Amino acid sequence: MNLLSSSTSNFDRSPPSPVQRAVVVVLWTLLFLVVIDVAVGRLFAAPPAGVEPGPLQRRFAAGRSVEGKLARMVRETDESSAPMAAAGWYGSRRDQPTRAEHPGGLFVAAYGMSTSFRVCYAMQELEPTLTLRLVGGPNAPLSHSYDGYLKDRTRHDADVVLLGVSAWALAGLESMTQMLIHFDAPAPYTYPVYRISDGELVATTPLVQSLEELRRAMGDPERWEAFRRQLAEHDAYYDELVFRGGPLDESTLVRLLRRGWGQRQKRRQLAQVHDANGYRSDSTVGPVARAIIRSFAETVRADGRLPIVILFHEKGFDDHLYTLLAPTLREHEIPFLSTHELAPASDHDSFMPDGHFTAEVDKRIAREVLAVISSAH
């Protein structure tokens, strides 16, 4: 009948026993698992560096360990590395204006992520004399934006400082890098993790703060181990099985399993921060976010500028960020606006398939921001 059962029938011509038949089926199953593992691995192998992977290639590579992904992303030079590797580090957006480009026009320095930058571009469309200075990273949590703002504070003379806060990314306050919390498609950039000690905001700065430092650490086992240990201690999304690489990265099935595991760990951690009713009151995310907002507004005002905060509510977040932060914003009289009033998070007409707001909504928010600025000035 087949290769595997012929060996048993050489001994004995009588039909195989149920146990023998079961063993044969198990062996065939294992053989086919190996075939699937190798075949899928070959068919959807990652493309050479510089070529954008397709959706299936990405899907089957999503479970590669963080170390494995970094090794593929970060090459000898910035040019040969994946574009994602360079994103989000402070200073990665070059040639940002330091002063208003149009005499008499408004100069806005914005800190946040793509959602807020899209709104900024929409503002520029409405107000062509507007000058923009944008600092941020993909999916960046508030801690990254705040850190970027602190680093950037003295390097420009903007009139308005805009801070975009994403409801979705807020849980990232418990992370130090996007490597873990978004391990499916990680951007390796880092940022401090904040906690509150005696009422004061205390930062733990990452040992690696630029792509160059990351490259150096990856080439130096001692430095790498120190960085890994720092993440294990301070990043709530650190998981040994997700982080550590090794030869098993080459197996498709192991990668799929690792992705399943990683998703599970991530969801458990996210559930500690946010559930269907909003941000949980027993999480440290709320107090830290409020402290950051306070400190942001204080320093911006000390510099004689106007602070503005936009609260972005992505799908599934109703008005949760607003509920969490609006009391603080009001108490300190910080001009702000919340998207849940302009584009409800439950309305699927508000969003594009990739999760960003539609251009129309961006424009609506932009108009509102401009109105807030002009009324506060």
The CB-of-36 to another protein minimum distance in angstroms stands at: 5
Site for another protein in 319-358 (CB under 8 A): 344, 346-350, 353
Q: Which of 259, 274, 313, 363 binds another protein (CB under 8 A)?
A: 259
Query: Which of 63, 286 has the CB closer to another protein?
Result: 63
Site for another protein in 4-43 (CB under 8 A): 4-5, 18-19, 21-22, 24-33, 35-36
Query: Which of 150, 342 has the CB closer to another protein?
Result: 342
Residues 6+ apart with CB under 8 A from 118: 356, 357, 362
Neighbours of 91 (CB within 10 A): 12
By CB atoms closer than 10 A (0-12, 13-18, 19+), residue 308 is: buried
* Residue 280 makes contact with another protein by CB under 8 A: no
Query: Which of 234, 364 has the CB closer to another protein?
Result: 364
Query: Which of 17, 80 has the CB closer to another protein?
Result: 17
Burial readout 115-131 (b: 16 or more C-beta within 10 A, e: otherwise): bbbbbbebbbeebeebb
* Residue 84 makes contact with another protein by CB under 8 A: no
The CB-of-162 to another protein minimum distance in angstroms stands at: 28
Query: Which of 3, 196 has the CB closer to another protein?
Result: 3
Neighbours of 203 (CB within 10 A): 14
Asked if 296 and 307 count as a contact pair (C-beta separation under 8 A), the reply is: yes
The CB-of-55 to another protein minimum distance in angstroms stands at: 9
Of the candidate spans 66-74, 175-183, 212-220, 259-267, the one that interacts with another protein by CB under 8 A turns out to be 259-267
The CB-of-105 to another protein minimum distance in angstroms stands at: 36
Rg of the chain (C-alpha set): 25
Q: Which of 38, 43, 49, 56 binds another protein (CB under 8 A)?
A: 56
The CB-of-350 to another protein minimum distance in angstroms stands at: 7
Tell me how far apart the alpha carbons of residues 263 and 59 are, in angstroms, rounded to a whole number. 13
Tell me how far apart the alpha carbons of residues 120 and 87 are, in angstroms, rounded to a whole number. 19
Tell me how far apart the alpha carbons of residues 80 and 170 are, in angstroms, rounded to a whole number. 32
- C-alpha distances out from residue 282 to 105, 269, 279, Å: 45, 13, 9
- Side chain identity, residue 231: L
Tell me how far apart the alpha carbons of residues 89 and 209 are, in angstroms, rounded to a whole number. 7
Query: Which of 198, 349 has the CB closer to another protein?
Result: 349
Site for another protein in 121-180 (CB under 8 A): none
Comparing CA positions, the residue from 273, 262, 84, 316 lying closest to residue 173 is 273
- Count interface residues toward another protein (CB under 8 A): 41
Query: Which of 2, 154 has the CB closer to another protein?
Result: 2
Site for another protein in 171-230 (CB under 8 A): none
Q: Which of 182, 223, 234, 315 binds another protein (CB under 8 A)?
A: 315
The CB-of-270 to another protein minimum distance in angstroms stands at: 11
By CB atoms closer than 10 A (0-12, 13-18, 19+), residue 355 is: exposed
By CB atoms closer than 10 A (0-12, 13-18, 19+), residue 267 is: exposed
Of the candidate spans 95-103, 126-134, 175-183, 252-260, the one that interacts with another protein by CB under 8 A turns out to be 252-260
The CB-of-87 to another protein minimum distance in angstroms stands at: 24
Query: Which of 126, 359 has the CB closer to another protein?
Result: 359
Instruction: Determine the 3-state secondary structure of 213 from DSSP.
Output: helix
Comparing CA positions, the residue from 169, 154, 165, 171 lying closest to residue 272 is 171
Query: Which of 94, 268 has the CB closer to another protein?
Result: 268
* Residue 370 makes contact with another protein by CB under 8 A: no
Tell me how far apart the alpha carbons of residues 190 and 230 are, in angstroms, rounded to a whole number. 12
- In the complex, the residues that contact another protein under the rule CB under 8 A are 1-2, 4-5, 18-19, 21-22, 24-33, 35-36, 56, 59, 62-63, 253, 256-257, 259-261, 263-264, 267, 315, 344, 346-350, 353
